[in-house]
Structure 1
């Protein structure tokens, strides 16, 4: 039995060598070959690669790979240790006894450091906040103890035996003195051999022959770049009883030979490692630490048989596996990528002589580094590059392209939007990249299984405020929609009800007790749902409420069922959250969370796997907490590790951290190499060769992963070679990816601020690659710095540079972008600027004479242009939608004050008791709480009282409505109803200021009743707000109401054919100036009109130029000149020289002559 080391610069050479080895079957025909791989992605690729070597056809290429069992390093070690299912030293299990030890020891002196960190004994809110770290601290410490056992087992041995050492002969730092005692107490708590003892027992068992091993006569480890010391020991022991083959990718055979001298010395403190100085090429020095240290770790073997694998030039696709095989002179590469890879493999430092002798072809695009303005632009650029490569090379397929991204969760939605929308974008009108199918691998479980995501949301809700937006977002998830039958219209209605019921946050008043608001019931879900359900049976009214609940007057008979389903959803959510808050041990949490998700979700039959995965995942958490294996429970009465763990109480923050850890990304074998474009993180497909390798998101600060020093990590104080370092691991991944690209390497990063445009540097490892590229060969551009090789892209995809031939790295005569929509935008941007064409070039044909409804006439003059668009052209206009608020109201804005005041004024005018009116408003939930609401309400009540005082004498006569039916001539009539008439007077009392719109509406009503019954002296009185007082406006009597009414109907008819220059406030101001000073009407009226039309940036109230209808007709920010064109034929009713003046004076002139204003204080 022996250990045989195979190494090669490329993993395809290793895979073919492995295939040649496996062709010779095992002595036992029924035994399975065992291959240990570091990641699922490599397993899938290796399976496909071996299928072309292990068949029974010619040269084994019949596409079959069977009888091979793939393991991970973790599963192999667990098999050797005899703990394949319920390893008590696994951090996910060790955390439970560790929690108990911490809880029991917080009052003891040795635990003072932890007690201080967790706020023990501080009392009050600070202790509560600090204790929320409890599980996260325990889980981190469990991970550290697991790391100690795997990477430096001597440390565990020393601590277990009472020595406070660092595991390599030194003393442990004083600030970590609490850790040995913590570990010893955990060892006492766990009914299993300590990990270091178990490791030694396993080695002894292997040295004794390992007769109980369920492993074949040989096994292989494939593709590793780092092996911790305990795994190296186990491999050495396993090699005594089995043939063990190590298949290791090594970037440089020459460097491997140089490192032999360091390997003889074994592991050393990393600060003493000088192996980087042995590497000639800068990338091997800066990016290859993991492989260098692996060479040192493997040097502890006294018997090491090495084979160097090289692709054979004699027979393509075969591998020469003879020991110490001579390396034939490689063909000199002709591309920049090939030159860089050749230098790395030969460990050759680029110098000026080599650089000058290797010119890069002008059309060489083997390496492209693209600097973009944002993650979204990176995806835009990437898809242009990939589509260009596919279009350029018909033999290239999506399966030949690998996209790797360090932060897959951030970029996943962008990939989904940029690729694979062929079923959404019809008729081939979208980007060609939409025809490419994309498979996103190793995403978090919460991204692929919505039930798991909902479980996380429930925990977050239980520990939070249960905000309105959070609950509505939960209701919009697919499983909840299926359970309660919510469709898109239903969700819109639920949002409206939530807003109108003034729901902000909190299930009920009791859940607000942590915020000292337990006496405030308003704005809770309970208060809002009560309003909704009461609104099913009762109408809203200031004198119509039940106990503390005011009905919600927005529940139609067709929506009763929806109201019930919504109430049931909130009630089940309430019960679930209450159960979660009351839960203690982890097993109770698991049960409560499982039942809670079941209560509010459902899945389609095809998605039943989601329920199974969700319940299995929570069962694993519960089993780990109980110290049992979920698939192999121990017999009753059997002893086992962690039997007391179920009593460990968890807080909400603990459960949140627990779920985040358990639901992190887990790559599966089926997600890789499916024939589609694969997108994954940097780990699963490391070293796997692809024709095109694309690296996305190598931003400064995002890659490599943060190297934040963990002050509690004893290994990090003075790390040894071979021990894990995240930043070194990421650098090695980048080097592996660079060497895995066989034809093209594409890299994107955020190289500019999307707001300011300031350049941002690439990540440090990417900068090192750029510098190496600049020194590798002579570039056509004359670039001598890495920064000169970066292609900097514009901010927008419709920038003309994206579509100019030969720009941004595109081949001569070919544009960079394939985006048809962006091309249209670029053409428009580069074209001649033309003014916005008029909505109509000429008025529409006059319709046949028809009767006029008074309501239509009133609606037209309230917004002439808007009514033309809506009623004539049937053009929808955007409406301002206020964002649903989660915060309690602390003050009322102008609109909210008007709404409250208008309701109170209406109820007061109708004779309701003032206290009832006030109580109704308090029950509505729109007022700020407590004294803030009292203060706001007092101000409104004062104004309402004054309005009622001034308006009440006008209401002595009973209110009535008058039907009008007026002959307009030419067989046309105006019909309708005028309400609010008291005696011979139209009375309007409003909380609004008396602006032009209110006055014009009253004027039209006055003309209607006057023309309908000219025998009476009709008048109108308006009462409105002016500060804290009241304004009044009187209109009439009118001597010739019918003529004035016919003039308005004539304008109405004209306004049905084209948008008239008649904005209400602007026209009123113009007419008032023209009436007061006819000689200065042109200049002064224009200036006054401008104040109402033009939006002032310093004013919170926009001008009429910003109204959606006016923007649609005149364009955004249109000057007042658009209203001041010369009158057309047939528009000469007065002496005004503009169309605005003609219409303004014709409408407002008679009104102003019959109007009188005054203030009542």
Structure 2
């Protein structure tokens, strides 16, 4: 029986829709007719449903399905059950069957046919499946499942040969063992009350076409095809195919004259249709081969008033504009090409362009605009930032997003599963605690999570549950041996134990007492947070226990894995307070886990977790998420998928760079369709993309906008435009002119780097901006009076010109802060600005002692024995573990020995050291254990009396102690403290020497001051001034400020700011954005003050050693 498919052809989707509407409800149908409408994409489905609802009032009783589900639905409805219908298993079922068969072959098969597979999967030395081999096997099985589905669609003859012949390769053998059957050449159907409508599908495989031809003898089947050309065009050849044919004729010895005539005939066609339309030609050829009845309804435009309309008519009439008289248009912008500097600027430029089009054409609504990109997911953040900002005048809906990237529950769940495979780094665990669904289930607030993060940093937790867990991780992932050092420093158990000990006991105060503990208590938890600490400790233990199965390499049936994963999902995540959209996404995850139970078709085989997680992720990747899908009046964003083009007044294609579009075909060597004879035509990804571009040109009713960005983020290579854009522009230049110019000179819009560039707001420019914030930014940026950039500190005022701010009581620690960092002192004391330091959470083991830990070690090591100090250092996690441990210990020992030697050289013993405290309640000096308590130091200034209180630091009978080397910057930083030391000795006749002892270098700086009072008065006056205006007298710059020329200061500034280890964050913050400090201004204002305060100590002590 001959096929009776009705084929309706048109160059406009709207006409095809009108015919579909007529065919759906003919006199041959009744209310119980099952109307199956096959659509190519979600976007087309939405468009069709909306149109049917608008025109018919309802869209019920119509099943809109994609091609593969539709074919399965028809087989279920209409195939004769007595003929034992064949149907290929689903992708996951097929992949699991392939994996099961390969595992069995790797264990028991000895045939050489399996050797390539064994070489690829098995460890060469151990001859077994390692962790890497397991992942390869799972991925390979999934690839083969996809290929087997392609073989079933395009390679029926190849499969029939495989079925009859002895297998020549392992793929053939796998096919015969797993699939067994090949789809039939003929199909057996029964009649049914069904109508089938394939709407706007550009291409279906030959096997699917034959199946529908067979079905059409029993039920009505109708194709609605978008055809770009009304004349016969299926014999056209692309430029590449023409060149190949010409070479063939040359090799056959064709004469030059005949070759010239043939070549002229070959290229006398529309090149765009020939180069972009191969997919449509293949579909047309299939229809012609089966002699189907066609009904053509092409719409010709009354006039070609725009460049876009003329282009569409050239395609429709198969005209080549090169051989026609060049057509001219005045100020035509129906086709636009926008070039931007980045993805962000590309989206910003698109937003302004769309506003401009809507402003010019008031009949265009946001819903009339479709925006496509090769992968819309890479543009999602930029689209949200621009189109969903509070200032945006356009709504948007984003299609084709990935569930794995959208849902907080899904992302948190997979982060939990991935945690078992990691080293339990501090960042990974803290990231798990940052998911709101996890916090909701565990009863945690964001503030409590931040406290936990602080505890982790304070205890220096890096990775690993405990020392044993660390060794297990190394054995599993990298080595044949575990950790070289069994120290628990930096593990979760060590850190939590230290916090628990700190809440349960009084902390030891002396060094000797600290050394008696095998865990160093840490008092970081307030009494009100002790309950939180207990809950956190319990949760960490529960996590370790529940996730241990994932790292045990245990294999289980899929139903047990499903039950276990559902337990983890409900145990650690909650979505009760989430939005309806989030709840639906969480339920989709739970349903996907449930479906794992039946994925192995009841085989009850045992699988490792790597298999389960792979297929669960694949299943969720196929679950598309659409943002704001219910927004009707919104710009529609979607990915460029095959057969995706929908009609719209404005069609936009973003990301049209050479690298991104058309997409390259991944020609894997596994695909036997490339190497076998007699396979059906199977279009490549590039051919689908070219035809999609052609459909987009046909679908644009008023404007076609193409855009790309020149540079990828973080990349150096510049992007060129897509080859398709180059072909289009070349054709336009040959065929048309716009305002007397080539279209390439008129339709290409180069966008500047900034969105507030003046070009957007000048008269006569092609591109405009409708953004008020950008306009205000442009006014500010290009303002004539604003010649210099903004400076946080307009000028360094001279201290003598300012009124002193008076302090009656000054804490000595405030003087220390000023001496160490005048900028930070001013920021915090005067402005109340506290720059937040970056809270770094290191996940790696330290290779050396940090400078801070080395400083602590240096100060304490000579008071007790080296062994006890090392014990304390290890308890606090100061000593690196592993092969660098001994090196660090040697370095620490060398530092301790150096300090001990210097102490001996300075005639000091540990018992000689004491602290100095100026106490408000003290009336006369008194000596306590390891401390001298003195009355506050009273200094009389012209403005009144100042009282100094607080702790000064360490000293001895030999002089004031400083754990520094005695460099010039050290002298500047210690000078005010030394003055207070000397003044205390003078006022109370203390039995101390006025020397300054530098422990790190063993230097003794002897005093030359008979009285320190005047110098101390000067410094306190400076303290008052620096509290009112920022002072540049930081220790690194003081010596340069005492010089006569500002050039010395300029050198010091450059050395500090351009170096790698400059500590002053406040100076860096002031200089951000290229705001350099003015050395001339600074020198003029502060040089005299620097000389008055520091010239003498620098001159007296610099370079002199004893």
Q: TM tier, shorter chain?
A: 0.7 to 0.9
- The alpha-carbon distance between structure 1 residues 849 and 1097, as it changes in their structure 2 partners (threshold 3 A), is closer
Q: Given that residues 380 and 797 in structure 1 are in contact (C-alpha distance below 8 angstroms), is that contact kept between their aligned partners in structure 2?
A: yes
Distance apart, 1:938 and its partner CA: 1.4
- The alpha-carbon distance between structure 1 residues 525 and 764, as it changes in their structure 2 partners (threshold 3 A), is farther
2:946 paired residue number: 973
1:528 paired residue number: 495
Partners of 1:1069 and 1:959 lie apart in 2 by 38
Q: Secondary structure at the match of 2:354?
A: helix
Q: Given that residues 821 and 1064 in structure 2 are in contact (C-alpha distance below 8 angstroms), is that contact kept between their aligned partners in structure 1?
A: no
1:230 paired residue number: 207
1:96 paired residue number: 96
Distance apart, 1:242 and its partner CA: 0.8
Larger deviation: 547-556 or 14-23?
547-556
**Structure 2: any 5+ residue segments left out of the alignment?**
79-84, 238-247, 250-262, 914-929
Q: Given that residues 93 and 625 in structure 1 are in contact (C-alpha distance below 8 angstroms), is that contact kept between their aligned partners in structure 2?
A: no
Q: Please, which of 272, 284, 290 is the counterpart of residue 273 of structure 2?
A: 284
Q: Does 1:421 align with 2:421?
A: no
Q: Please, which of 853, 875, 884 is the counterpart of residue 932 of structure 1?
A: 884
Q: Given that residues 281 and 344 in structure 1 are in contact (C-alpha distance below 8 angstroms), is that contact kept between their aligned partners in structure 2?
A: yes
Q: Secondary structure at the match of 2:328?
A: coil
1:905 paired residue number: 858
1:515-571 C-alpha deviation (Å, 9 max, x unpaired): 344455443334433344444435488653797543344333344344344434433
Distance apart, 1:258 and its partner CA: 6.2
Distance apart, 1:219 and its partner CA: 2.5
Partners of 1:908 and 1:757 lie apart in 2 by 51
2:527 paired residue number: 557
Larger deviation: 484-493 or 345-354?
484-493
Partners of 1:584 and 1:980 lie apart in 2 by 63
Distance apart, 1:69 and its partner CA: 2.0
2:17 paired residue number: 15
Distance apart, 1:964 and its partner CA: 1.4
Q: Secondary structure at the match of 1:253?
A: coil
Trace 1:497-646 onto structure 2 (pairs within 5 A). Answer: 497-507=455-465, 508-509=469-470, 510-513=472-475, 514-516=477-479, 517-518=482-483, 519-520=485-486, 521-537=488-504, 539=507, 543-544=513-514, 549-582=519-552, 583-585=554-556, 586-607=558-579, 610=582, 613-614=585-586, 616-617=588-589, 619-620=591-592, 623=595, 626-627=598-599, 642-644=601-603, 646=604
Partners of 1:22 and 1:678 lie apart in 2 by 27
**Number of aligned positions between the proteins:** 1027
2:734 paired residue number: 775
Larger deviation: 1039-1048 or 600-609?
600-609
1:589-644 C-alpha deviation (Å, 9 max, x unpaired): 4333332233332224344764665465455466456447xxxxxxxxxxxxx432
1:443 paired residue number: 401
- The alpha-carbon distance between structure 1 residues 735 and 447, as it changes in their structure 2 partners (threshold 3 A), is same
Distance apart, 1:1156 and its partner CA: 8.4
Q: Given that residues 1041 and 1083 in structure 2 are in contact (C-alpha distance below 8 angstroms), is that contact kept between their aligned partners in structure 1?
A: no
1:305 paired residue number: 293
Q: Does 1:1094 align with 2:1054?
A: yes
- The alpha-carbon distance between structure 1 residues 903 and 698, as it changes in their structure 2 partners (threshold 3 A), is same
Partners of 2:1050 and 2:909 lie apart in 1 by 39
Distance apart, 1:382 and its partner CA: 1.3
Partners of 2:287 and 2:783 lie apart in 1 by 63
Distance apart, 1:754 and its partner CA: 7.0
Q: Please, which of 41, 58, 73 is the counterpart of residue 39 of structure 1?
A: 41
Q: Given that residues 372 and 378 in structure 1 are in contact (C-alpha distance below 8 angstroms), is that contact kept between their aligned partners in structure 2?
A: yes
1:1038-1090 C-alpha deviation (Å, 9 max, x unpaired): 5333332222222222223322342333224655xxxxxxxxx525xx56555
**Structure 1: any 5+ residue segments left out of the alignment?**
55-62, 165-173, 189-193, 261-270, 312-328, 423-429, 629-641, 1072-1080, 1126-1138
Q: Please, which of 719, 724, 731 is the counterpart of residue 765 of structure 1?
A: 724
Q: Secondary structure at the match of 2:549?
A: helix
Partners of 1:649 and 1:954 lie apart in 2 by 66
Q: Please, which of 1053, 1059, 1062 is the counterpart of residue 1033 of structure 2?
A: 1062
Distance apart, 1:973 and its partner CA: 2.7
Distance apart, 1:711 and its partner CA: 0.8
Trace 1:841-990 onto structure 2 (pairs within 5 A). Answer: 846-847=804-805, 850-876=808-834, 878=835, 881=838, 883-892=840-849, 896=850, 898-908=851-861, 911-951=863-903, 952-953=908-909, 955-956=911-912, 958-969=930-941, 970-980=943-953, 987-990=960-963
Q: Given that residues 503 and 530 in structure 2 are in contact (C-alpha distance below 8 angstroms), is that contact kept between their aligned partners in structure 1?
A: yes
Q: Does 1:69 align with 2:46?
A: no
Larger deviation: 774-783 or 280-289?
774-783
Q: Given that residues 297 and 722 in structure 1 are in contact (C-alpha distance below 8 angstroms), is that contact kept between their aligned partners in structure 2?
A: no
Q: Given that residues 984 and 1019 in structure 1 are in contact (C-alpha distance below 8 angstroms), is that contact kept between their aligned partners in structure 2?
A: no
1:992-1026 C-alpha deviation (Å, 9 max, x unpaired): 6651354224324315524653576662533332x
Partners of 1:552 and 1:408 lie apart in 2 by 50
Partners of 1:494 and 1:1142 lie apart in 2 by 50
Partners of 2:508 and 2:698 lie apart in 1 by 72
2:1089 paired residue number: 1143
Larger deviation: 551-560 or 664-673?
664-673
Partners of 1:1156 and 1:353 lie apart in 2 by 90
Partners of 1:906 and 1:781 lie apart in 2 by 83
Distance apart, 1:78 and its partner CA: 1.0
Q: Does 1:184 align with 2:197?
A: no
Larger deviation: 400-409 or 584-593?
584-593
Partners of 1:959 and 1:739 lie apart in 2 by 90
Distance apart, 1:742 and its partner CA: 0.8
Trace 1:446-525 onto structure 2 (pairs within 5 A). Answer: 446-507=404-465, 508-509=469-470, 510-513=472-475, 514-516=477-479, 517-518=482-483, 519-520=485-486, 521-525=488-492
Q: Please, which of 973, 977, 998 is the counterpart of residue 1023 of structure 1?
A: 998
Q: Does 1:158 align with 2:161?
A: yes
Q: Secondary structure at the match of 1:886?
A: coil
Partners of 1:850 and 1:840 lie apart in 2 by 29
**Normalising to structure 1: TM-score of the pair?**
0.81
Q: Given that residues 6 and 309 in structure 1 are in contact (C-alpha distance below 8 angstroms), is that contact kept between their aligned partners in structure 2?
A: yes
Partners of 1:117 and 1:706 lie apart in 2 by 26
**Normalising to structure 2: TM-score of the pair?**
0.85
Larger deviation: 930-939 or 1016-1025?
1016-1025
2:259 paired residue number: none
2:360 paired residue number: 392
Q: Given that residues 659 and 719 in structure 2 are in contact (C-alpha distance below 8 angstroms), is that contact kept between their aligned partners in structure 1?
A: no
Distance apart, 1:236 and its partner CA: 1.2
Partners of 1:284 and 1:869 lie apart in 2 by 68
- The alpha-carbon distance between structure 1 residues 667 and 1108, as it changes in their structure 2 partners (threshold 3 A), is closer
Q: Secondary structure at the match of 2:401?
A: coil
Partners of 2:334 and 2:536 lie apart in 1 by 58
- The alpha-carbon distance between structure 1 residues 135 and 1061, as it changes in their structure 2 partners (threshold 3 A), is closer
TM-align CA RMSD: 3.7
Q: Secondary structure at the match of 2:932?
A: strand
- The alpha-carbon distance between structure 1 residues 729 and 924, as it changes in their structure 2 partners (threshold 3 A), is farther
